[in-house]
Amino acid sequence: MNTLRILYHLALADFYERARRYGFLLILAAVIFMGVLVNNGTLGMNLASGDPNILVRYRGELNSAWIGTMTVMVTNLFLGLFGFYLVSDCIKRDIRTGVGQIIATTPVSRAAYLVGKWISNFMVLAVLVLILAASAAIMVLLKREAALELGTLLMPFLAVALPYMALTAALAVVFETVPWLSGAVGNVIYFFVWLFSLMAWMAVGTMLPFFKDPFGNNIFGTSLYASASAAFPNEPIMKVLGVGSFNMPGTQFKVFNWTGVDWTPGIVGAQWSWALFGLGLILVSALWFARFDPAREGLRRPRAKPEEAKAGEPAEPRKKAPGIALPSLSPLVSKLAQVNPFLGVLFAELRLLINGRRWWWWLVIAGLNIAILSNPLSITKEYLLPIAWLWPLPIWSEMGNREKKNNTYQMVFAAARPVLRQLPAAWLAGVLATALFGIAGAMVFLSNGDLPALAGWLGAVILIPSLALALGVFSSGSRVFEVVYLIWWYIGPFQKSAGINFISGPPQAFLLAAAGLLLLSAFWRGRQVRV
Amino acid sequence: MNPSNSLVIETRNLSKAYKGVQALQDFNLELTPGILGLLGPNGAGKSTLMRMLATITKPTQGTILWNGVDVVKDPEALRSVLGYLPQDFGVYPNLSAREFLEYMAAIKGMSGEKARRKISDLLDLVNLHDAARRRLGGYSGGMRQRVGIAQALLNDPQLLIVDEPTVGLDPEERVRFRNLLSDLSGERIVILSTHIVSDVESTATDIAIIHKGHLKVHARPEQLLKGMEGCVWEWTVTSQELPALKQRFLVSGAIRRMDGVEVRAVSERQPCLEAQPATPNLEDVYLSLVAQRQEVT
C-alpha cells in the first residue's frame, strides 16, 4: 500500500511539474495540429496496390473503426519517436535541480523511483493520446459517413496506442538510467532503434504466433487486408499498412467497409504485455541507476581537468599567505584579444567546442577522413560523407545551449557584446570545427574538380552549425536539434531525398537557410540577454 | 530513560577516495543527541562525509553504524529517520510548496493524513503558510531554502544533516532557524555544516573540525575555547604596519578605527607590549587549527 502511495506521488508530482510548463502547451498545440492533419486527410493510413504501376490505394469508410485506427497509427508513428524525446528528461531533471540528492536519502527504492518516473512519462504521453482520441471522435462526427461508436473508436487507443506509449515511456527511463545511453549518443541510438524496429516488425510481425508488433501494424494490417481483399477480390493488394502523408496526385482511392478488429482478451493482453516488457527493462536498468551518488554520477560527466577542484577532494595547501605578492592582473586581455577582440572569443569558443573529446572519438574522425581520401568519390558521397556529418552530433548539439546547461549564462551574457560578438564567434567556431571534421571531403572534391560536390560540402559546413546554434539557443537544450537533425540527416543525406539533401543539393537554399537561422539565433539570444 | 538518548551514529575508519584522491581518511566519530557543528575549509571533506552519512555515497572503506546497524550495508535502517538538507538543492519550479512537500512526504513513506498535518505545521514553522500555494519557481532564494528546511524536518528525523542551511536567509530567519535547531537538538542528532562560525557558536553542543580529510578535533565548544585562553590578543596598529603583521601572526580580525586598525591575532606569546589579551571565540579556534596545519604543509 505504501509503495503504491509512493508511486502515486512520485508520478503525480513529476507529471504536474511537466504539464504546468509553458512548453507543454506548445506540445499540446502540436498534437492538436496533428489531429487536424489527420482530420483534413494530410496524414492518414491506407493499403497500397501490389502492382507498382497502378496508382490505386485502398482505404476504409470513414467510420469509427477506421478513423480510430488511423489516428492510432499516426499517433504511434509520431509519438513513438517524438514522445520518447519529449519525456526522456525526468531523471536528468532530478540530477540537474538537485532534488535527486534529497530523494537519495529517503527510503524509496531504486526500482520504485524508476517505476514512478515511468508512470509519469506514461501519463504525459497518455494525455496526448487522449487528445488525439477526442479529435478522432470529432472527425467521425464531422465526416458524417457513419454513426459514432465510442467503443469501436476507442478500442485501438486502449489496446494498441496506450501499451505502445507505456513501452516508449519505459524506454525513455531505461535510456536515462543506463549511463552510456544517456545524452546525445542515446538519442541517436534510439532514433535508429525506432527506425529499424518499424521496418523489422513489418517483416517479422506476422510470423509471430502470439506477440504482435507494438505499433499495431500487424494487428490492423491483417484485418484490413482481409476486408480489402474481400471487397476487391481480383485486385493485388499489399498486406503492409502505409501510414504517413499521402499527397500523391492522380492516385485513386478505393473505399471498402471495415468494422474494426475483432478484439479478444488475447490480443489486448498481448499488446499490454509490451508494457510489462518495458517494466521488466526498467527493473533491469535499475542495476545501473546510481541513485544520485555524485561519486557515480561523475562518471557520466566529462572528466574535469586536473587543475579544477573536484567536490570532496582535499584542498590544495595555500602556497602563499593571503594578501601578499598579488599576481599581476594586467594586461586584462590576452595577446590574441588585444589584436582583435573577436579572435579572442572565437578561439575560446573553438576550444570549448572541441575540448573534452576522448582519443577514440578523434580516431574515428581521423579514420573517416582517411577513408574519404582513399576511396572512390561515389563511396564518399554515398556513405562516408553522410557518416562524417553525423558523427560530430554531440559537439554540434552543445551549441547555443552550453550557457544554460552549465549555468554560466549570467556571466556570459553580462560580458561585452553577447549577441554581436560571442554568438557570431560561437557560430564561426562551429563552422570551422565542422570543416575540420570533414576536411578530406573538400580536398577530394577539389582535387577531382567536382565543384558541385564542393559547393554541397560548403553548404553542409555552414548549415549544420547554423541549425545547431539556432535550435540550441531557441530551446536552451540539445534534444530539439538532435531530433530535427537526425530526421533531416536520415531523409536528406542518407536517403538522398531531393530538395533536402544538403550534402549534394545546390547549396544556395541551404546557405540562405543558414543565414536565416543565424539571424533567428541572434534574435532569440537578444531576448535571452534582455531577460 | 528517554529513547532518543540511545541514538548514536558512529563512523569507524571511514575513508573515501575519488579516482585515487583521498577525500576522507580513517575518520572516526561518535555522535549522540545534540548539535554537531562541522567546520573545515572548502574541500576538506565535509560534504563527502555528510553524503556518506546521508547514505548517498558509499565509503571506500570503513563503516557507519546507526544504533549499531551498519548503514553502508543496510541504508534503509537510517533513511526512514533521516532528514537531509544539501547545500545545493533544487526544487520543482512548477509545483507549489505544499505539493512539493506532499511529494517529499510520500517518498519518505509518510501516510496521507499525518503528512498533511505535518506539512501545515512545517509551513507555519518556516513562515511560508501564506505562500504555500504559489509555485516554487517564483520563490526567492531564502524562501526556497526554507522549503528545503521544511522537507528535511518532514519525517521528524532522528538524524538531521544540514549543509549550509542559513545561506540566503535574512537575519531574522537565520535566528529563527538557529532557535529551531536548538529546540530540535534535545531529541535527535543534528549535524550542521557551515562556514558561518557564529551559527555554530550559538547552536552547537559539539564541534568537529575537519581538514584534508582528517578529523582534527572533536570537542565541546567550552573545551576548545578554554584551550585558547591566553592565546588571543588585540591591539591597534597603523594601516602601513598591517601587511607585515599578517605575515608574522595569525590575524583573525582587523577593524578600522579612527586611530588606526584594531587587530585581533592568535599567538601563544604576547605579540607586543600594547597587545591586550582578548576573550577567544570559535573563529580564533578554527583559524588557529586550520592555519597551523597549513603552515606545517
Mean pLDDT by runs of 10 across the 531 residues of chain A is 82 90 85 86 86 85 94 92 91 86 89 94 95 93 90 96 97 93 90 87 63 84 91 86 76 90 92 95 92 66 38 40 49 62 84 85 94 92 92 94 81 80 93 95 93 90 96 92 91 84 81 93 88 60
**The total number of structural domains that make up chain A:** 2
C-alpha cell at B188: 535527535
- Looking at the fold, whether B146 and B267 belong to one and the same domain comes out as no
Q: Distance (Å) from the C-alpha of residue B210 to the closest C-alpha of chain A?
A: 10
Query: Which residue's entry shows cell 562551429?
Result: A430
Name which of B21, B24, B89 is nearest A98 (Cβ-Cβ): B89
Query: Which residue's entry shows cell 532518543?
Result: B4
Inspect the interface and report whether the beta carbons of A13 and B100 lie closer than 8 Å. Answer: yes
B241 in a domain, yes or no? yes
DSSP track, B45-106: SHHHHHHHHTTSS--SEEEEEETTEETTT-THHHHTTEEEE-SS----TTSBHHHHHHHHHH
Per-residue pLDDT, B293:
45
Residues of A in contact with B109 (CB under 8 A): 2, 6, 106-108
- Looking at the fold, whether A41 and A93 belong to one and the same domain comes out as yes
A391 in a domain, yes or no? yes
- Looking at the fold, whether B75 and B150 belong to one and the same domain comes out as yes
- Looking at the fold, whether B253 and B198 belong to one and the same domain comes out as no
Residues of A in contact with B246 (CB under 8 A): 321-324
- Looking at the fold, whether B76 and B142 belong to one and the same domain comes out as yes
Per-residue pLDDT, A295:
72
- Looking at the fold, whether A348 and A294 belong to one and the same domain comes out as no
- Looking at the fold, whether B93 and B17 belong to one and the same domain comes out as yes
- Looking at the fold, whether B76 and B194 belong to one and the same domain comes out as yes
| Residue A125, C-beta contacts closer than 8 angstroms, at least 6 positions apart | A79, A83, A86, A87, A165, A168, A169
Model pLDDT for residues B189-231, shown as the tens digit of each residue: 999 998 788 888 888 999 999 988 999 999 999 999 999 899 9
The list of chain B residues with pLDDT below 70 reads 1-5, 292-297
pTM for the structure as a whole:
0.76
- Looking at the fold, whether A246 and A393 belong to one and the same domain comes out as no
SS3 A111: helix
Instruction: Classify residue A128 by burial, with Cβ atoms within 10 Å: 0-12, 13-18, 19+.
Output: buried
What ipTM score was computed for the predicted complex, to two decimals? Answer: 0.71
Instruction: Classify residue A441 by burial, with Cβ atoms within 10 Å: 0-12, 13-18, 19+.
Output: buried
Model pLDDT for residues A288-325, shown as the tens digit of each residue: 898 888 776 654 443 333 333 344 444 343 334 444 44
- Looking at the fold, whether B171 and B267 belong to one and the same domain comes out as no
**The total number of structural domains that make up chain B:** 2
- Looking at the fold, whether A272 and A339 belong to one and the same domain comes out as no
Between the CA atoms of B187, B188, B193 and B198, what dihedral angle is there, to the nearest 10 degrees?
10
- Looking at the fold, whether A129 and A268 belong to one and the same domain comes out as yes
B297 in a domain, yes or no? no
* Residue at which a domain ends, from B181, B198, B221: B221
A308 in a domain, yes or no? no
- Looking at the fold, whether A291 and A350 belong to one and the same domain comes out as no
CATH number of residue B92's parent domain: 3.40.50.300
* Residue at which a domain ends, from A238, A271, A299: A299
Name which of A17, A18, A102 is nearest B151 (Cβ-Cβ): A102
Per-residue pLDDT, A529:
78
Q: Which amino acid is at A421?
A: R
- Looking at the fold, whether B155 and B269 belong to one and the same domain comes out as no
Averaged pLDDT score across all residues of chain A:
85
Inspect the interface and report whether the beta carbons of A293 and B57 lie closer than 8 Å. Answer: yes
Is A231:A167 a contact under the CB 8 Å cutoff? no
Name which of B23, B41, B79 is nearest A313 (Cβ-Cβ): B23
B261 in a domain, yes or no? yes
Q: Is the dihedral of CA A14, B89, A357, A482 positive or negative?
A: positive
Give the helix ranges, DSSP H, for A88-183: 90-97, 99-103, 110-143, 150-156, 162-177
Domain boundaries, position B134: 3-221
Model pLDDT for residues A248-280, shown as the tens digit of each residue: 777 888 999 999 999 999 999 999 999 999 999
* Residue at which a domain ends, from B193, B221, B249: B221
A488 in a domain, yes or no? yes
- Looking at the fold, whether B213 and B242 belong to one and the same domain comes out as no
- Looking at the fold, whether A357 and A483 belong to one and the same domain comes out as yes
- Looking at the fold, whether A348 and A436 belong to one and the same domain comes out as yes
B291 in a domain, yes or no? no
- Looking at the fold, whether B190 and B267 belong to one and the same domain comes out as no
Domain boundaries, position A209: 2-299
Inspect the interface and report whether the beta carbons of B89 and A21 lie closer than 8 Å. Answer: no
- Looking at the fold, whether B179 and B101 belong to one and the same domain comes out as yes
C-alpha cell at A135: 479529435
C-alpha cell at B113: 493524513
Closest CA to A506 of A439, A470, A465, A457: A457
Closest CA to B282 of B222, B234, B238: B222
B79 in a domain, yes or no? yes
- Looking at the fold, whether B100 and B235 belong to one and the same domain comes out as no
- Looking at the fold, whether A284 and A342 belong to one and the same domain comes out as no
- Looking at the fold, whether A274 and A423 belong to one and the same domain comes out as no
